A and B are shown apart, each in its own frame.
Chain A
Amino acid sequence: MTIEELEQIAKSVHQENEKYDFEVNVCMDLACNSQGAGLLHSALVKAAEASGKKVLVRKTGCMGPCSSGPLVRVDPEKTLYHHVKDANAETIVNSLGEAPVAALQCDLNEHFDKQVRVVLENAGHIDPEKIDDYIARDGYKALLTVLTEMTPNGVIHRITESGLRGRGGGGYPTGLKWSTVAKAGGDTKYVVCNGDEGDPGAFMDRSVMEGDPHRVIEGMAIAAYAVGASKGFIYVRAEYPVAVARLTTALREARRRGLLGTNLCGTTFNFDVEIRLGAGAFVCGEETALIASIEGRRGTPKPRPPYPAVSGLWGRPTLINNVETYANIAPIVRNGGKWFFNMGSERSKGTKVFALTGRINHTGLIEVPLGIKLWEIIDVIGGGVPAGHTFKAVQTGGPSGGCLPAEMLPIGVSYDALMAAGSIMGSGGMIVMDDTSCMVNVARFFVEFCMTESCGKCIPCRAGTAQMYTLLTRICTGVGTMDDLRLLEDLCSTVKEASLCGLGQTAPNPVLSTLKYFRNEYIDHIVHKKCTAGVCNMQVPAEVLA
């Protein structure tokens, strides 16, 4: 495959698409699918055939505002329809070329205006099972340019220049990680994609893997060229069967097109990728545990150093990046590091995908430039909390993150600002809570999660989270005392300081952040035996009340 051949494919796809007057794109992501997008797609195909119009009906990845699903977008008019039922298919097809169907039109201009799409640029525009659709939107151009025109060092320089930081949560500079692996000795190196999106309440990586799988593969291939690896692994959760199927198809297509395999583009570069399945263990998102799991062992972490960049899979230098990090690589190579560097805030560059969920009007997948104010995400893009309720907190970073109250809404979303506020960027889950949530109970929920997910290798995490859970349960059931609270705070710092890996070190975060911002709720539970949100079932023994 050469660049000319690639352009030829792109041209033939464009020519093919020009035969049609209209494109009807149906979002087939999990959320829309669970609301009947499958039936809708068949109904649209049928209606299009019956109408005699030249209509292309396409299945696409996630379009974003899942709460308005099933979604349909008609191009070239770019009309977005929401809550479309299969019964509406004929009406939509009949309206093509005429005025749009006003009753179904989705008016979410504010929702989209604040967003900038880099990672999600293709989602909703291509059929993820067709490699040619991806190629027609500049896909694999970056890989072939890199192979024919750039040196590995040049690629690393461009990534470093872009200021991209790891999107899995840690925020480690990607360029620095790549150069460490590139400098490590040895003939055999590996590139690993972390698609173990264990953080509950987050689904960015799933949407990227399902909606635009080739983008991840292209990013991995570029990384492999830069660091000198010839073998890659994508580690995906078994809970994401569709993502696994899409990636399998994508890998097969890429091999067929000669974009994976040996002597790519007539060079000496060889690269291929294997999929490895997770099996439901949150700790496997931690890189050393992930390596153990790929090797077919129990996913228990190891102390670092040595870092995987030096000694990873089977003791070889291994580059591990998150799905979203790899998804950013191709556009950076295509548009230059400066282009990316100019987006975002001072120390957090580019855009970030967030999964906006919980008690908020417009749930779904969003992509925003970093530095955007938290309130803009919640009030403008998300449309605020449901009517009649008041905003209480937003939880970022999953079980390792924290809950931020209304006072924190003016901060800009960046790695450092969130860290300073007592939470973390994390992989991008953003869960909004209103007055119906009890913060003590929320903290207990996360501690329970960490307790069951703790691998049991180190004691602070294994025993500490269990004791924290017991203390929080005492508080939630109304038998807690102020001594329990002091003990809890003590324990939090022990677990944080002494745990081996990221899971244990960050497990106390939900407790610490709720203690920092919502201490009064803890006091209410302990002293007044009262749960303001009415969530906790207080079974106060008579002797305590007396």
Chain B
Amino acid sequence: MRKNGFARSALIETLHTVQSSFGFLDDDAIKFVAESLRVPLSQAYGVVTFYHYFSLKPPGKHTMTICAGTACYIKGTDKLIADAEKHLGIQVGQTTKNGQTSLMTARCVGACSRAPVVLFDGEVAGEVNREQMLAQLERWTVE
């Protein structure tokens, strides 16, 4: 916040910083940011819920993000998503009960030439098939 001179317009930047430190934004964090920047709490909460990138829930120990961009869709990520949901027993956007794995989708990470793309803890893997994906999920579960 100090870096941006406590400017009200730096709300999104500040929220990014908080999320990258804590992994998600809880009520206390949003209240603190809103008060510090003198932004109405409603505006801060509105911004957090409007943008997909911000998360109100803590992520699991590992996160698998499946790209749902057009090129990846043409190359079959809808099936990968269905397989992952079945394997983990959760829906996209949820975390397994033991807190081990979160399943997310992304609107294109820009690695379309390597579609379908999956991010394992932020690491880009291209031309991923079902077996590779499930093997990685299995490794995380065993840990």
Contacts and interface: CB of A to CB of B under 8 A. Distances in A.
Nearest to A359: B74
Nearest to A364: B113
Nearest to A293: B12
A534 to B, nearest CB: 12
Contact of A295 (B9, B53, B114, B125): B9
B114 A279 contact: no
A194 interface: no
B10 A445 contact: no
Contacts of B99: none
A30 B124 contact: yes
Interface string A343-376: 0000000000001111100011100000000000
Chain B CB within 10 Å, residue with most, of A66, A238, A446: A238
- The number of chain A residues touching the other chain, given as a range, is 35 or more
Interface of A: 30-31, 33-35, 66-67, 197-203, 206, 238-240, 276-282, 293-299, 355-359, 363-365, 395, 398-399, 429, 431, 433, 437, 442, 445-446, 449, 453, 455
20 contacts: A31-B126, A35-B114, A198-B107, A200-B73, A201-B69, A203-B113, A206-B110, A238-B16, A239-B110, A279-B16, A282-B107, A298-B47, A299-B50, A358-B75, A359-B74, A363-B115, A395-B70, A431-B70, A446-B70, A455-B50
B11 interface: yes
A357 B12 contact: no
B13 interface: yes
Chain A CB within 10 Å, residue with most, of B46, B68, B108, B113: B113
Chain A CB within 10 Å, residue with most, of B8, B43, B71, B114: B71
Interface of B: 7-13, 15-16, 39, 43, 46-47, 50-54, 68-71, 73-75, 106-115, 117, 123-126
Nearest to A314: B9
Given A34-B111, A35-B126, A200 B50 contact: no
Given A296-B47, A298-B47, A358-B74, A279 B124 contact: no
Chain B CB within 10 Å, residue with most, of A201, A281, A295, A299: A201
Contact of A277 (B16, B39, B75): B16
